[in-house]
Structure 1
């Protein structure tokens, strides 16, 4: 059986971000250089679904630049065999150190490429077996054909995602892509009471819209919107009557967060302060203290107040940059995964209704 056509690892690296767009699970480890080189070694050895060939992670560490350009079938077959034999660790020019094989196996193969459907695992192999166990999924391997022009590749990548990623993964990708490519001067946000307001279009606006139209309905029993502000603290909506009904005085300064929600379902209304984070500005400890002063002044005890930082996606650089500063006793919510909350507290959830 002839080996599959070989695409240089650098070209594989270039294609991966299109195959796994923003919103893909563990995207960073699916598109980084190690993933490209791991995929290259699978192609190089012919480890593709249906071929009966499999690789071990340590073979990725043993590949070298000199070997990678020896692309005739005889050279590739010979290396596929020799690279599985026990040998000394000092392979001249090896791509990675010996002790990186566990990271390649776990971070790149198991929790990224397998999870995203690009790699399959050999069935029936014991966990202690030294035999190769990983290969490229057949349709995924076709995305790496050297003869594909850009337009054909993009179309095939989209078709592959539709066929091989689950509905949740596709929905997450679609939501993130929408947030990154939102256009137009404004968009409409529909409040729980049926009223609509116009907000300036953009990534922050998409998150705000999701908070009001999705988060509020999903996690609150009887939601209401007390205030909604845009970037620059421009107040889009302000319901003083609702605030007055629950005893909340809305300050005239810029101390309020992007969104203030209320849940009128519980016996004592629940106040929810939401910060929308596209670039910066999460609910950190200092912000939480300031917001508690507002709520306590209105007669809301701590147990009747919740703090949420809303992001577009859990895999975003923004979340990774700000997660360490999120206040204990607060929540993180992601528009791309609307059914779940991250709780920064050991206490039971306070804002989930019904």
Structure 2
């Protein structure tokens, strides 16, 4: 009878890198920590050392820094077991050539990749009973998570196992994944149909901008406005989809598409004094910056709107989206940010134009 190997097989680093974005799609909390290369290499080292739930083997973050490409290619049990011993021996591997990371990288591996990422999502378990100062290995792959890296899985089997494992994720993450996947399907090759607050349905061209516009009109408007109405809606090609000239006239707004209008203009007709809402849908660029806010505010003032009756909203798909991270420092004060993946929440950038300075207790 063939003897069972002392250590489990090790999937290739490229396979791990390729599957992490599938396991942790857009919408997952702390996704940047989970899909970057250092996460893949941390998982690789766990496989290499056999640190998988139920095996009673554990790693320390500094072991990830001590792996090299040459060592990773040595996959026989004897070679792996020797490296496991040497990588935790005091004084060993001090002047290691070709190491994956500098010794001080163990802190971000521990704090970001493991604690804030893989442990928080249930992909990695922590050894119980260890003191915080213990030098023993503390981390291992959760068994079902480790099974997702089996190279023998067919695409259908992998998809099914990933969907089952994602039950480990927080409810908010699962909801955001579903919303983003739904919008990705809507942003495909078929037209996007948008349901207006007044019951009308309009057709928009396929694409991510149309899908986000649909989310804003069907999600943001009813959640944050008393009596929402569409004043103006355009597509990314600047084609006008809807323009309510009669409503614009009633509220005093002059609509001319060649005036560089925003993607969406809403009006909240519920308050005694109507609220004008300018929304920019941000897929790659075009958020509401300070300059953009001033230009739109000038249009509102022409219609007789006072500053406190005008709102500015930048619409993004998700907080983890790269475009939001890139543009967040450019967003205007005294504006709002709405994320389609979290439709019941809004980010308020409260700036200096507020008449009275408020303490935190006043804002709660």
- Separation of aligned partners in 2, 1:331 and 1:200: 26
User: What secondary structure sits across from 1:227 in the alignment?
Assistant: strand
What is the match of residue 316 of structure 2? 311
- Separation of aligned partners in 1, 2:151 and 2:244: 59
- Classify 1:42/1:246 alpha carbon distance in 2 versus 1 (closer, same or farther; 3 Å): same
C-alpha contact (below 8 Å) 1:64/1:94 kept by paired residues: yes
Deviates more, 1:202-211 or 1:309-318: 309-318
Matched, 1:293 2:298: yes
What is the match of residue 180 of structure 2? 176
TM-score by structure 1 length? Answer: 0.90
What is the match of residue 11 of structure 1? 15
List per-residue Cα deviations over 1:60-118 (Å, max 9, x = no partner).
00112222222233332332233223226322221100111111112212222223331
C-alpha contact (below 8 Å) 1:61/1:100 kept by paired residues: yes
Which of 270, 279, 288 does residue 284 from structure 2 map onto?
Answer: 279
List per-residue Cα deviations over 1:223-242 (Å, max 9, x = no partner).
22211111122111112232
What is the match of residue 359 of structure 2? none
Which of 227, 234, 237 does residue 229 from structure 1 map onto?
Answer: 234
What is the match of residue 60 of structure 2? 56
| Aligned-residue offset at 1:347 | 7.4
Which runs of 5 or more structure 1 residues have no equivalent in the other structure?
350-354
Count matched residues. 348
List per-residue Cα deviations over 1:166-208 (Å, max 9, x = no partner).
3322221222233334334422211122222111121111100
- Classify 1:36/1:224 alpha carbon distance in 2 versus 1 (closer, same or farther; 3 Å): same
User: What secondary structure sits across from 1:39 in the alignment?
Assistant: helix
Matched, 1:84 2:88: yes
What is the match of residue 335 of structure 1? 340
Which of 108, 120, 128 does residue 123 from structure 1 map onto?
Answer: 128
Matched, 1:259 2:274: no
| Aligned-residue offset at 1:16 | 1.6
| Aligned-residue offset at 1:57 | 0.8
- Separation of aligned partners in 2, 1:147 and 1:5: 12
What is the match of residue 360 of structure 2? none
- Separation of aligned partners in 2, 1:212 and 1:123: 49
Deviates more, 1:93-102 or 1:237-246: 237-246
- Separation of aligned partners in 2, 1:138 and 1:237: 53
Deviates more, 1:226-235 or 1:95-104: 226-235
Which runs of 5 or more structure 2 residues have no equivalent in the other structure?
355-364
- Separation of aligned partners in 2, 1:252 and 1:45: 63
Matched, 1:35 2:39: yes
Deviates more, 1:231-240 or 1:113-122: 113-122
List per-residue Cα deviations over 1:100-159 (Å, max 9, x = no partner).
111111221222222333112233433333222211111000112233344433332233
User: What secondary structure sits across from 2:286 in the alignment?
Assistant: coil
What is the match of residue 220 of structure 2? 215
C-alpha contact (below 8 Å) 1:179/1:202 kept by paired residues: no
C-alpha contact (below 8 Å) 1:222/1:265 kept by paired residues: yes
What is the match of residue 141 of structure 1? 146
- Classify 1:337/1:124 alpha carbon distance in 2 versus 1 (closer, same or farther; 3 Å): farther
C-alpha contact (below 8 Å) 2:334/2:353 kept by paired residues: no
Deviates more, 1:222-231 or 1:120-129: 120-129
User: What secondary structure sits across from 1:77 in the alignment?
Assistant: helix
Which of 75, 78, 88 does residue 79 from structure 2 map onto?
Answer: 75
- Separation of aligned partners in 1, 2:118 and 2:286: 33
> Which structure 1 residue ranges, 4+ long, deviate > 6 Å from structure 2?
none
C-alpha contact (below 8 Å) 1:190/1:197 kept by paired residues: yes
C-alpha contact (below 8 Å) 1:221/1:264 kept by paired residues: yes
Which of 161, 165, 175 does residue 156 from structure 1 map onto?
Answer: 161
- Separation of aligned partners in 1, 2:184 and 2:310: 31
| Aligned-residue offset at 1:324 | 2.3
- Separation of aligned partners in 1, 2:117 and 2:352: 31
